[in-house]
């Protein structure tokens, strides 16, 4: 399914042949479960080594921000680690933080002259962000960010589960 430069696929982000995959990272950048664990597992130790170097230099990555590392053994040469918010009912600027994570990922991709980027569904797993709300925020934030990033040709939302795939498919139809 395609809309402008946006598309959605149902699949495994670690298998995407794009310039960069986005990791739904935690602020410590030391791996975790879900997408984070899958990307670190498939990409091998080079990703963790790069994350540790960033931690040593700047002490992690705040919520709403993003950093870029090698893709290690992944088909994608780069991983953009974006830190989404934990859902607390919407009273702690979670919408703004989630949008910022997507926008900063696009900004980093543009700064590194990348043309294709794949996103997971940031914050909708263990962080508990409501899926419909997250999909709306993600699509809006990416569209807004792409206006300032003309070199990015394709953004793919990669949905591991059927529910998120359906939500994105409906919104991008």
Active site (catalytic) residues: 36
Closest to 66 (Cα-Cα) out of 96, 109, 35: 109
> What is the distance between the alpha carbons of residues 149 and 60, in angstroms, rounded to a whole number?
26
Q: Which residues pair with 70 in a beta bridge?
A: 78
Task: Give the SS3 label for residue 39.
Answer: helix
- The DSSP secondary-structure symbol of 26 reads -
């Amino acid at each position: 399914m395609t809309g402008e430069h946006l598309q959605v696929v149902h699949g495994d982000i670690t298998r995407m042949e794009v310039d960069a995959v986005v990791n739904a990272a935690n602020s410590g950048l030391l791996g975790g479960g879900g997408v984070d664990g899958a990307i670190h597992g498939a990409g091998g130790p080079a990703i963790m080594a790069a994350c540790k170097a960033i931690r040593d230099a700047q002490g992690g990555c705040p919520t709403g921000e993003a950093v870029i590392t090698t893709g290690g053994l992944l088909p994608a040469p780069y991983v953009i680690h974006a830190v989404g918010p934990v859902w607390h009912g919407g009273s702690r600027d979670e919408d703004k933080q989630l949008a910022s994570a997507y926008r900063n990922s696009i900004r980093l991709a543009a700064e590194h002259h990348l043309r294709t980027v794949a996103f997971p569904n940031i914050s909708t797993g263990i962080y508990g962000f409501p899926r419909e709300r997250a999909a709306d925020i993600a699509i809006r934030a990416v569209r807004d960010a792409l206006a300032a990033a003309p070199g990015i040709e394709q953004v793919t939302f990669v949905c591991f589960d059927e529910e998120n795939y359906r939500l994105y498919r409906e919104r991008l139809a």
